[in-house]
Amino acid sequence: MAGLKTRPTDRSVPDYLAGVAHAARRADAEALTADMEAVTGMPPVLWGDSLIGFDRYLYEQKNGMRAIWPVTGLAPRKTNLVVYIMPGFSRYGALLDRLGPHKTGASCLYLGRLSGIDRDVLNELVARSVEDMRATYPTGMTLTAD
């Protein structure tokens, strides 16, 4: 797995979250971490400096390199709380319509604050994306040197 810069660490997720400077972003990230742990049934793991990931899956990149990545995750950024919906959003339009204010990228869901978001819809979105990922890719992988 050489070449991947973002890898799971042994750093404490609660300690990382305690260090998030913006109080509202910290509270939102703590709440969402708890929700995602409940939805995925997996403990949070800090990947790299700022990605909180849940479970792992193995995929092959276009260049043939195999990689392990979180099945879902979140990152409290300065301007948004980013939720990683790895299958993308094409299957989840009805949920997104009910979610509340958000923006999307390829696999990134950008939320300004959780206060305007329907948390039940967000949890359903995460649950469905995790279910789709687990049906498509081998999950629960461990990192090994190639």
* 114-132 confidence digits (pLDDT tens): 999 999 999 999 999 999 9
Q: Where are the alpha helices (DSSP H) in 1-146?
A: 13-18, 23-40, 93-99, 119-136
How does the average pLDDT of the chain come out, rounded?
92
User: Distances in Å between the alpha carbon of 139 and those of 27, 28, 74?
Assistant: 29, 27, 18
User: Would you tell me how many other CB atoms lie within 10 Å of the CB of residue 104?
Assistant: 15
Range with the poorest average pLDDT among 1-5, 75-79, 95-99, 114-118: 1-5
User: Would you tell me how many other CB atoms lie within 10 Å of the CB of residue 81?
Assistant: 22
Query: Is the dihedral angle over the CA atoms 102, 129, 66, 17 positive or is it negative?
Result: positive
The pTM is what? 0.91
Range with the poorest average pLDDT among 1-5, 68-72, 76-80: 1-5
Position 145 confidence tier, pLDDT thresholds 50, 70, 90: very low
pLDDT digits (tens, 9 = 90+) for 29-46: 999 999 999 999 999 999
CATH number of 13-136: 3.90.1150.200
Position 104 confidence tier, pLDDT thresholds 50, 70, 90: very high
**pLDDT score of 5 more than 60:** yes
pLDDT value of position 146: 40
Q: Provide the token pair at 68.
A: 């392990």
